[in-house]
Structure 1
Amino acid sequence: MVAALELYLDVDATRRVRTLWRALEDEGIPTMKSLLNDKHRPHVSLAAARTLEPSTVVEALAGLTVGRGLTLDMTFVGQFVGRVLWLGVTPTAELLTHHAAVHERLAAAGVETWDLYEPGHWVPHCTVSMRVPNPQMGHAVRRCLEILPLRATVTGAGLADHANDIDVPLT
């Protein structure tokens, strides 16, 4: 199971990522669209862990506008071990400062997150697929490159744990 603090993209960027998901699905490449019965929406995760207690996270972030108004420039495609394909977000000073502020508040509240999402280790990205078949990876990467560059504005944030039906908007 995975719980994440997610940044949501503006309507145009969301539409473009969903179009990419559909194109890949039509070609037999599983994407975030089909993972967990279409519960995912295009996003960039600021933090992730096996579980995150919604009330603790909401309290820790009270008074902080999480992500809203940030500009995210997706300019490259990347892969993580395990056939994970993603659109890479250029790490700007503003984004990294905001990310650090969120993690500072979470840490002060005793919220533990995975090391890979901690400041200094985090790779900002929008996941396309968690399981691209190896023979189709090259094609999937080329498909992703077709929609880049992609500029998005963060319009909201939320805490999501889709396996446990948790979806808590953050203001």
Structure 2
Amino acid sequence: MFAIIALLDKKTENLIKEIWQDLRKQSISFYAEEVEDRKPHITIASYNHLDKDEMIQSMDQFYDSTFQVEITFNSLGTFLNSGTLFLSPTMSTSLSNLHRTHHDFFKRFNDNPDSLYLPGKWVPHCTLANRLSHDKLCEAFKYCSKKLSTIDARITEIALIETILTDGRCIAAPEVYSKKLLSNTIEV
């Protein structure tokens, strides 16, 4: 399986990794260690099968003139009956456009009509912990709601990852290709 993910600026990436480590130290969640090569991200799309070379060429073309996207994480949430805790960004026009235009341009690759990352189904999020029991989910929520406040972040890069499964569980998610987005700040 493959996914297109939005990677975050280094400051935000480090903050989320710190949360992952804190949850591990408190024996609440081991999310960061469950998958080799895991980075904080927002998944944009998923694909069961893919011609990697064709996708890379298409990503190069499509994202060549795409600017970084400013986002604000100001919600902490969970998917029902999932044991997952995540940060959710405000759905801005820029974030919505990034997602919609990706799916419009790359629709020929869509091989999973049930994907939760398709327009109309997508809940943008950055996972903090998953596969938690109800008690651990409550602990994680309590910790994160005290520790975190609004996070102003940027999507700075789009990456193609391949998910490596063993016994139905993802054990690695190596980056196949990434494309840095154009900075929308003017250097003086």
- TM-score norm. by structure 1 comes to 0.87
* Paired residues for 1:118-157 under 5 Å: 118-145=118-145, 146-157=147-158
Match of 2:91 in 1: 91
What is the number of equivalent residue pairs in this alignment?
Answer: 168
- Give the Cα–Cα distance (whole angstroms) in 1 for the partners of residues 161 and 144 of structure 2: 25
Deviates more, 1:26-35 or 1:6-15: 26-35
In structure 2, the residue corresponding to 1:19 is in which secondary structure? helix
1:116-147 Cα offsets, whole Å, 9 max, x none, are 11112111100112212221212201222222
Q: Which residue of 2 aligns with 1:101?
A: 101
- 2-structure distance, mates of 1:57, 1:64: 10
Gaps of 5+ in 1: none
Q: State the 1:78 CA deviation.
A: 1.1
* Higher Rg: 2
C-alpha RMSD of matched pairs (Å): 2.1
6-15 or 140-149, which moves further after superposition?
140-149
1:68, distance to aligned residue in structure 2 (A)? 4.8
CA contact (8 A) 2:56 2:177 kept: no
For the residue of structure 2 that corresponds to 1:14, the secondary structure is helix
Quick one: structure 1 residues 165 and 78, their matched pair in 2 at CA, closer, same or farther if it must change by over 3 Å? closer
Alpha-carbon separation, structure 1, partners of 2:117 and 2:10: 26
Q: Is the 8 A contact 1:72 1:152 kept in 2?
A: yes
Overall identity of the aligned pairs, in %: 21
